[in-house]
């Protein structure tokens, strides 16, 4: 009996560790639990950099941009940072600084792939625009029209438009009331090849509000949207993305992050740090983000991301009338614009870029993932697209993303100077 009791205790302890260890790691990496003192590395002070100029008119701008990137990398203590700029339909510069993998002594280069987090929503929006353009899907179709929309009775009246603009009332990860799914969102160790399987993680959760009554950012809403597109397009979501977006735009380095243990040769290593003021980091724990694919599970490069932006302002790929729909701030049921200037998978605020440039509408989407950050912006007035990625997080997103403003000014001024007098 004593041996049986001892075995039972040991079994319970082991089972508890297996179940709770990922949860502990989840909170530890968020800074809400202590991390062990081992595993840290120092970012080398002598940082490599690269700069690839595709248009000689922007040679000086490229030199300036490379210096800006390296200074910014040091300022935010990121192991690596990478960027690309496209103007008038072609890539003009790609550059970066720092390390894709410190331990492997592997510098960032043009092919380095980063987790792009919620910038994935701009990718998903591009597929949606293509389906709308082909009359395969209508933005105002209620979800009750689809099988997936009937998994939860509260989903039936939600429209595709409301899902894509975060006005459907779907919860974000931590707001879900379905406990099994909530646990999976913390453990991040399960693979979901079919987006419909990921939907089942939250299909019993309550809505935060009635559809259209408010705005609440929800990656789960984008996951549900991907299942709707999969059903309406009669093909797996990943296949539709590949055919309609990636292959069509020549995005050869963009795809779902591979399963744990199967990283691509060009994928960066992702890092966590407890103090942004110090160049000390530790590798992020292994995670599987396939449950959030459409809303935050892709990997890409800045050079690929600017191809997406170029495609969105190319009338041959996305028609002007469809683009206008997708870049118009959406309104609530009461007629008011939502609080984040959110359109259909893009934010569309207006920024003041200062003397000589003025106010510009910027279609953009940022992304935060485990040990990685992403920023994609399109400036239609100048036909400029810019993307920046890093392999560490900053507590305040714009501490990372703010470098895009300086880079954009650099290339806008170079473009102005290159124009005939």
- pLDDT digit string (tens) for 292-342? 999 999 999 999 999 999 999 999 999 999 999 999 999 999 999 999 999
Cα–Cα distances in angstroms (integers) from residue 150 to residues 44, 144, 177, 262, in the given order: 54, 6, 18, 35
Whole-number pLDDT of residue 11: 42
CB atoms within 10 A of CB 341: 16
The number of beta carbons lying within 10 Å of the beta carbon of residue 187 is: 17
Query: What was the pLDDT predicted at 232?
Result: 98
Handedness of CA 370, 98, 265, 21 (dihedral sign): negative
Q: What is the pLDDT of residue 182?
A: 87
Reading the block at residue 29, the tokens are 């990496």
Q: What are phi and psi of 306, to 5 degrees?
A: -70, -25
pLDDT score recorded for residue 39: 84
What does the pLDDT read at residue 22?
Answer: 56
Torsion of CA 101, 106, 108, 112, to 10 degrees: -80
Q: Which residues contact 400 (CB under 8 A, 6 or more apart)?
A: 76, 78, 373, 375, 388, 390, 393, 394
Please list the ranges in the chain whose pLDDT falls under 50.
6-21, 24-25, 27-29, 31-33
Please tell me the predicted confidence (pLDDT) of residue 34.
54
- Tell me the domain boundaries of the chain: 1-34, 49-122+238-279+289-418, 123-228
Q: Is 49-122+238-279+289-418 a domain of CATH 3.40.710.10?
A: yes
All residues at 6 or more sequence positions from 282 whose CB lies less than 8 Å from its CB, including other chains: 35, 39, 40, 41, 271, 272, 273
Task: Report how far residue 177's alpha carbon sits from residue 170's, in angstroms, rounded to the nearest whole number.
Answer: 11
Q: What is the model's pLDDT at position 2?
A: 52
Beta bridge partners of residue 82, listed in sequence order: 96, 389
What would the pLDDT profile of 404-413 be if each residue is shown by its tens digit? 999 999 999 9
């Amino acid at each position: 009996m004593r041996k049986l009791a001892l075995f039972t205790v040991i079994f319970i302890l082991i089972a508890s560790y297996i179940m709770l260890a990922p949860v502990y790691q989840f909170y530890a990496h968020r800074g809400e639990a202590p991390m062990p003192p081992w595993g840290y590395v120092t970012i080398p002070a002598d940082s490599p950099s690269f700069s690839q100029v595709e248009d000689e008119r922007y040679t000086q701008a490229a030199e300036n941009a490379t210096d800006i990137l390296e200074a910014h990398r040091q300022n935010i203590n990121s192991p690596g940072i990478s960027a690309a700029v496209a103007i008038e339909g072609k890539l003009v510069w790609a550059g970066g600084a720092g390390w894709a993998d410190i331990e492997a002594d592997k510098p960032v280069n043009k092919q380095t792939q980063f987790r792009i987090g919620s910038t994935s929503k701009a990718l998903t929006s591009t597929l949606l625009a293509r389906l709308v353009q082909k009359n395969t899907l209508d933005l105002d179709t209620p979800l009750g029209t689809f099988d997936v929309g009937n998994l939860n009775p509260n989903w039936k009246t939600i429209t595709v438009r409301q899902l894509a603009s975060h006005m459907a009332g779907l919860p974000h990860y931590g707001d879900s009331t379905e406990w099994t799914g909530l646990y999976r969102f913390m453990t991040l160790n399960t693979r979901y090849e079919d987006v419909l399987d990921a939907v089942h993680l939250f299909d019993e959760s309550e809505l935060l509000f009635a559809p259209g009554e408010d705005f609440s950012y929800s990656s789960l809403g984008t996951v549900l949207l991907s299942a709707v597109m999969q059903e309406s397009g009669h093909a797996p979501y990943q296949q539709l993305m590949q055919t309609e977006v990636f292959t069509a735009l020549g995005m050869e380095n963009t795809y779902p992050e591979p399963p744990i243990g199967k990283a691509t040769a060009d994928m960066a290593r992702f890092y966590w740090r407890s103090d942004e003021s110090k160049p000390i980091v530790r590798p992020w724990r292994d995670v599987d983000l396939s449950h959030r694919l459409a809303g935050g599970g892709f990997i890409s490069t800045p050079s690929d991301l600017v191809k997406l932006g170029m495609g969105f302002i190319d009338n041959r790929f996305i028609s002007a009338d469809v683009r206008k729909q997708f870049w118009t701030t959406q309104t609530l049921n009461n007629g008011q614009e939502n609080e984040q200037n959110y359109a259909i998978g893009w934010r569309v605020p207006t920024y003041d870029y200062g003397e000589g440039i003025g106010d510009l509408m910027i279609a953009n989407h940022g992304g935060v993932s485990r040990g990685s950050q992403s920023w994609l912006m399109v400036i239609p007035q100048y036909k400029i697209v810019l993307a920046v990625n890093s392999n560490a997080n900053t507590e305040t997103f714009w501490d990372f993303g703010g470098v895009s403003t300086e880079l954009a000014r650099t290339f806008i001024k170079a473009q102005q100077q290159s124009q005939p007098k």
